[in-house]
Amino acid sequence: MGQRLDLHNLLITLLGSGNVYFQPPSGHVMQYPCIKYERTNIRAKFGDNVPYMHVKEYTMIVIDTNPDSLIPDAVSKLPRCLYDRGYKADGLNHDVFNILY
């Protein structure tokens, strides 16, 4: 699987801007639209009860003021990516995805 920086660069390309944030600290001012992501899991594959492969899982949140944004559609087409949920908070639309990368 790829490295986190490969995923970061892929998201920058997909978004068309540098507004991609990996685990931003609380209070960090983000520019919208943006993609915020963090590592949430490491999945292991086992053989003879011994882990032989690890795959990192990331949760990505597309945040946009536009409720009809095309960014979530583009993110949903990434390999090994699943849509989780959507919600609205503070006047912003949030679309949550999980990706194995």
pTM for this entry? 0.91
CA distances from 69 to 18, 27, 29 (A): 17, 25, 21
Q: What is the pLDDT of residue 96?
A: 98
pLDDT (tens digit, 9 = 90+) per residue, 7-66? 999 999 999 999 999 999 998 999 999 999 999 999 999 999 898 889 999 999 999 999
Q: What is the pLDDT of residue 81?
A: 98
Question: Which of these, 21, 43, 22, lies nearest to 30 by C-alpha position?
Answer: 21
**Domains of the chain, earliest start first:** 4-100 (3.30.2000)
